[in-house]
Chain A
């Protein structure tokens, strides 16, 4: 019992606590860190890039959980109760085993791999997969990651693409523990799948949805990996896709450790605020069944 706690405190807690201290210093690497008070924080609030990054984190926070939750819920519903009931047990639509297997694949991929795959999908000329498909319909190649207006959306699409599988599995697990009798009764009463979904599945699954919402929100505040490896020029073009974690990384690489930890502290407080709000606003009475 003590071993995991020591390990955890040493490698996880200690670095975080130190980070808070360094955010008040001019630490540049190997020489001694000098205390500079709130200078780093002043600099941060005056920095346009910081505000751009925060805005982008906000857009991701809005779109990523919304899109992922809606699509994953829809799919999980189809895969678990969408089909006709057989022997009193509600079934998924035909092929649901296959879909369940395939949808999880993106979760199995490391970030550099996702990056290489989507570099190929988003290539701006006709050798790109997406432009290749659009080419069949006579659409001219689009510079998916080069156009500042759509670049961020294209990155969010990749995040949604990768996340859906996990939440389909999570929601499927939740749905399979809802008793089949409830669905049968609804079917006897002539409820359409849409009504069944809205009146039965959704309320009974609320706990799972809440957990998923918090996970996705935290992921939205991070969003480092995809932006770093896939976006044009790490957060570009022209800072149109940068996020807070990317700016932390860049500041760290540039040796501005003190300033980097200041940005880190900002990120920490944003994430923590979100988590608290998400938990308190989605609180509902748990339905026992």
Chain B
């Protein structure tokens, strides 16, 4: 047996191992540091970077949840993200389905208009968006539900701005599904609505799970829209709460509870990602790649 040329390749591989491990440390270190700091008091935080807390102050976590209202912000965020993602997925999958599988006049125009949204700088429309949402309170009947400081407005804006990526991703996905199944169902007398909910959606499940999780992450971490549209502190989202604590925090403010609040925002996302990691990978394989 001939010996494989190992010299170059093992150098390449050991460099690879070092790089992988090094980057893993770079990712984990700041988060671990924040976690440890969540048990420290200010003196310890502003001392040497790598000192251990003298004792584990769980009171920081209680403080964050109650006194700094992280608990309230947490539930506010859960509500908005729940309806935002549910709406995005319902409307996004319907739009993607119709755009990718039915031919009609204006199909291409609508598709590219929506996809074009991926490239717009969100900032360009900020001033007008504020004004527009403010005006929605004058719409008859539904007006009182809308306007500024309204979760309904915020949810609608989240949905609208999540549509480009969702539609882009899901239409690629729907296009790959076999037409034969749809045809068979139609011959059996299946309506378009039934076909969509009973046949196409279940078949698209891997893609749906992947993009749902991306939308959850995106909307959970949304900072710009809540800052623009929600000014009532009782309705603040998690990111607003954390930003406020950190910007008002000088050297006198309580940093321990701030880090505890940060951990509370991060941990649910990490658990969810760890849990659904496989689906995200397989969803991406079948969606964005094809």
Contacts and interface: CB of A to CB of B under 8 A. Distances in A.
B45 A22 contact: no
A268 B124 CA distance: 7
A107 interface: yes
A161 to B, nearest CB: 7
Nearest to A275: B119
Interface in B244-286: 246, 258-259, 262, 265-266, 269-270, 273-274, 277, 280-281, 284-285
A260 B127 contact: yes
Interface string B91-134: 11011001000000000001001100111111111111100100
B26 interface: yes
Find the residue from B12, B117, B128 having the highest chain A CB count within 10 A: B128
A11 B243 contact: no
A177 B289 contact: yes
Contact of B161 (A11, A131, A207, A275): A11
Contacts of B239: 110-113
Contact of B119 (A3, A78, A172, A218): A218
A5 B92 CA distance: 10
Contact of A16 (B91, B92, B98, B124): B124
Interface residues of A, number: 95
B123 A172 contact: no
B171 interface: no
A281 interface: no
Nearest to A98: B24
Interface in B146-165: 156-157, 159-161, 163
B122 to A, nearest CB: 7
A105 interface: yes
Interface in A81-104: 82, 93, 95, 98-104
Contacts of B184: none
A128 B48 CA distance: 8
B243 A271 contact: no
A141 to B, nearest CB: 10
Contacts of B50: 132
Contact of A108 (B122, B161, B269): B269
Interface string A102-126: 1111111111110111111101011
Contact of A261 (B124, B161, B163): B124
Contacts, number: 252
A149 B222 CA distance: 31
B49 interface: yes
Interface in B13-66: 13, 16-17, 19-20, 23-24, 26-31, 33-34, 37, 45-50
Contact of B34 (A71, A100, A112, A120): A120
B5 A112 contact: no
A127 B45 contact: yes
Contacts of A275: 119
A8 B160 contact: yes
Nearest to A27: B127
Contacts of A257: 127
Contacts of A107: 217
A271 B124 CA distance: 12
Given A13-B113, A131-B49, A193-B9, A116 B120 contact: no
B220 interface: yes
Given A111-B221, A126-B49, A103 B23 contact: yes
Given A4-B95, A169-B284, A117 B127 contact: no
Given A13-B113, A93-B16, A105-B270, A264 B124 contact: yes
Interface string A243-272: 001001100100001001100110110011
A112 B243 contact: yes
A224 B223 CA distance: 12
Given A15-B128, A113-B262, A271 B49 contact: no
Contacts of B163: 4, 7-8, 12
Given A132-B50, A268-B120, A113 B128 contact: no
A144 interface: no
B124 A267 contact: yes
B223 A112 contact: yes
B208 interface: no
B121 A271 contact: yes
Contact of A245 (B30, B123, B246, B284): B123
Given A108-B269, A218-B119, A194 B289 contact: no
B242 interface: yes
11 contacts: A12-B163, A18-B132, A78-B20, A110-B223, A121-B33, A127-B46, A192-B12, A208-B289, A225-B223, A252-B127, A265-B124
Interface of B: 4-5, 8-9, 12-13, 16-17, 19-20, 23-24, 26-31, 33-34, 37, 45-50, 91-92, 94-95, 98, 110, 113-114, 117-129, 132, 156-157, 159-161, 163, 167, 217, 220-224, 238-239, 242-243, 246, 258-259, 262, 265-266, 269-270, 273-274, 277, 280-281, 284-285, 288-289
